[in-house]
Every structure is written in structure tokens, then in C-alpha cells.
Amino acid sequence: MAEQQGTRPRIKAVTDASGLALVLLTLGAIAGTYLWRGVGVMFAARIKSEGPVFQWVTFVSYAMLGGLIARMVILPIGPLMETPLLFRTLAFVIGVGVFFALGRRVLPAVFIGVASFIVLVSYF
């Protein structure tokens, strides 16, 4: 194929990679992943899950999740901004209700909250 003057040649990054380079990249990714997993296993036996540091990390993670959810409900951005505040608030309240009704289980609460939001936006 003749190239036109002033156009840039196409780069064939994937096809130019040698088999050895792909194998080395894959082995490097595997080594990096399993190295940190191994370190985690070594430290897991020494960490007290009821200790103050672990509780602090748990509290901070719940606070961050709560802050992100509050931001999405009160000051959303993008397409979520076009949905009514009532729908966002109602879905949030339903999710919190499910959270406490099912013994503080986060995953079902998030699932039901999102599902209720989808139903509200789709049918009302």
C-alpha cells in the first residue's frame, strides 16, 4: 500500500512484540502479584483483627464509603445530576433500611439500593 505524503505510518505495537517479551511481561506480572500475596499471608498471622489499628482501618473505610455515597446523593455529577433528588434520596433510604434489616450486610444493601434507584428512574 502506498503511503500518502503527510500521513503518519501506523504503529503495530502488538504485532511487533516478540514472544519472549510477552512471556517476560507475563512472568513479571505473576511474580509481582504473588510476591505481595505471599507478604500478605506472612503478615496475616500476626495481625489481630480486633486490634485498634484494624478497627481504625475499618472505621475509615466505612467513613469513606459513607462520604462517597452522600456525595453521589446530594451533589452528583454527570448523568446522575439529571435524576431527581427525591429518587436518589429514596433509594439511599431503602439501601440503609436493608443494611440494618439484614444485620449490617453491605452487599445486599448496595444491590437493593441500586435496584430501587433503577426502578424509580425507569418507571416514575
Q: Domain segments of the chain: what residues?
A: 16-46, 59-124
Tell me how far apart the alpha carbons of residues 88 and 74 are, in angstroms, rounded to a whole number: 8
Which grid coordinates are listed for 95?
439501601
Residue 78 pLDDT > 90: yes
Residue 85 pLDDT > 80: yes
| Of the candidates 113, 103, 101, the residue with the CA atom closest to the CA atom of residue 69 | 113
| pLDDT tens-digit readout, 26-75 | 999 999 999 999 988 888 888 777 888 889 988 999 899 889 989 999 99
| Of the candidates 108, 102, 62, 67, the residue with the CA atom closest to the CA atom of residue 116 | 108
Query: Any idea which residue has 462517597 for its cell?
Result: 68
Query: Any idea which residue has 444485620 for its cell?
Result: 103
Q: Helix (H, G, I), strand (E, B), or coil: what is residue 6?
A: coil
Query: Any idea which residue has 446523593 for its cell?
Result: 73
